[in-house]
Amino acid sequence: MKSAILFPLRLLLFWLLFFAVFRVWFVAWFYKEWPGEAPYTTWLSLWHALPLDISMAAYLMVIPVLIWFAGVIAGPSRQYYFSRAIRTVNLVLIGIMVLVCGANVFIYEEWHTLLNNRALAYLGTPRALLDSMSLLFQVISVGLYLSFLWLMWRVYRLVAGLTEYATQTSRSTLAIFPVHAGLLFLAIRGGLGVIPINESAVYFSSNLFTNHAATNPAWNLFHSLIETRSTENHFRVTDPKTAGDLVNCSLLQRCRPDADSIPGPRLSTAQPPNIVFLVLESHTAQVVEALGGEAGICPNLDRLAREGVLFENIYSSGYRTDQGLVSILAGFPAQPDQSIVLLSDKAEKLNSIPKILHQKGYSTAFFYGGELTFANIGVWLTTQHFEKIRSEKDFTRREKSQRWGVDDRYLLQHAAKEIGKLKAPFFATALTLSLHPPFDIPNTDTKNLRTDREKFLYSARFADEAIGEFFKTASEQEWYRNTVFVLVADHGSSNPNGIGLDNPVSRRIPLIFFGEPLPAELHGARISEIGNHHDIPATLLGMMGMDAPDMPWSRDLLKNKGESTGSQGFAYYTNESGLGWVMGQGKDFYAFGNGAWHRWEGQQDSVSHLQARAYLQVLYDDFLSK
């Protein structure tokens, strides 16, 4: 009977120590994220983390405890084999947990979110993931994994021991099995309350990183996998009619009788204009001087902004390229825990600019220097009626000069020449990649680039030079004068200043319309309307005198420009941690874990907060219905 009590207690203690070790690493590694006003509070996460740590430990204990009781039934003569089975299972579980908790650190470094189902979805293209890591990083990662695996196994042997059964263990011990089963169930569920345990049990701070440190990464991953398979809207805040009115009438202003009666500016062209999109990888506003960013990094973008239309307050709703492409081309905002392109049956139902223009007789083409199997992007592009699709397989080995594929210089020069071969009118999109980690710009002496900030800024300069060369080549061709260019980032970035993805500064991106067909009043114009890059379809198609059918989330940023409605617009952004909301009166972030709003700038009221959550509710209902 004694061993029936000691074995699960020792196992529980081991897992709590295991999670504490990785939490210490996590907190120490991201010391720059500690709250400035009270940095010591981050270490309190070791205590506040216990509810989810215990819940996850109980999950991990279920199989070993069942095997232990099976050994009791088998009798003392066979318990040796059951002991071996328990150790083997625990070794496998330790190996998995080391991988999960270690990967969580590296995922957080890149995305500023905890490991989740979205990260696992990208494992379908392991080559692309490995290409984003240097060889040294891969070697160090394997070394760290093996070191932690060895260390944790030693801790297991020390804490849990290798004697699972006492010599006097008998079948009468089975009487305690219901107690163990009940305790494990309660630990997993977090008690007898009506609602099972969730992140709110460990959120204790107004600082998001501190709350992330207290959240068990394995529990978070497991929970996100369960939620993504749910067909229920777990972002519901009010009844569907109220939410719909808040979104369609108050925000999108589609309930006004004159909503579609006032046209915006039109393109000045006798013939159907060509359209070229340059989707710029990770090109944050932080490096664009025209948007208040660092000076001298992107002179070509600054020039285009001065001569074209600069939208000053645009935000990316998501933080990954697959989310960005869907927003830019199809006008569909990102979801917190899903990526619609990974769900082909839903993604193919989206309408998009290439679909609409293809039906109008436009030729369509897409150029990318990377692997289009990543995140199922290639499949989605095909369903959106891109007739000509070029990716890394269409380039020579010499041109694949970066780990992610073809650098921006080769890609954009190739695109500039190939676009001229398309039958006019055409719609072409080029997606860049040089500003993606590990920032391995070709022919660069990396010894002088020691920090991520230095590497990012250098890569941004390189990408901007490639843009300048593209326009030089394009301007020498006949199609140039009848072409509207749209330059926009696929998403923002925490670089170069290490800003978290919950901060609106990291989500603000450049959006520039450029070209001779623009109406005279828009050359050199600066549009202050707050918006997202999923507003591009309605804005562009509106300038072309077309509607944006089946793209209800896309707003025409040039129509009315707030004059009739008094609105300054709004922007939405999200990740697994929460929902960001930008309006004229302020910028706030709603944390899903504890239901608290964090104020970044200004002061939003309760009505704005309700609108924000209603927006996500209606958006997610739309996602589920597809």
Alpha-carbon torsion (345, 322, 213, 145), positive or negative: positive
Three-state DSSP state, 310: strand
Residue 530, beta-bridge partner list: 313, 569
pLDDT at residue 563, rounded to an integer: 42
The residues near 89 (Cβ < 8 Å, ≥ 6 apart) are 63, 64, 67
Per the listing, tokens 């055409």 go with: 426
Tell how many helices (H) and how many strands (E) occur in the chain.
Answer: 21, 12
Strands 363-368 and 426-431: parallel
Q: What are the chain's domains?
A: 2-228 (no CATH), 272-572 (3.40.720.10)
pLDDT tens digits, 266-308: 998 889 999 999 999 999 999 999 999 999 999 999 999 999 9
Strands 274-280 and 426-431: parallel
The residues near 300 (Cβ < 8 Å, ≥ 6 apart) are 464, 465, 467, 468, 471
Give CA–CA dist 618/614, Å, rounded.
Answer: 6
Instruction: Answer whether 485's CB lies under 8 Å from 276's CB.
Output: yes
Amino acid at 515: G
pLDDT tens digits, 489-539: 999 999 999 898 999 999 999 999 999 999 999 999 999 999 999 999 999
pLDDT tens digits, 164-199: 665 555 555 677 778 888 999 999 999 888 778 988
pLDDT at residue 40, rounded to an integer: 84
Residue 61 exposure: Cα atoms within 13 Å on the Cβ side: 27
pLDDT at residue 170, rounded to an integer: 55
To the question of pTM greater than 0.85 for the whole model, the response is yes
pLDDT at residue 237, rounded to an integer: 97
**Residue 265 is encoded by which pair of tokens?**
């500016």
Q: For 365-393, b where at least 16 C-beta lie within 10 A, e where not — what string?
A: bbbbbbbbebbbbbbbbebbbbbebbbbe
Instruction: Answer whether 370's CB lies under 8 Å from 405's CB.
Output: yes
Number of C-beta neighbours around residue 109 at 10 A: 13
Residues of the chain falling short of pLDDT 70 = 1-4, 122-134, 162-173, 256-262, 445-447, 560-567
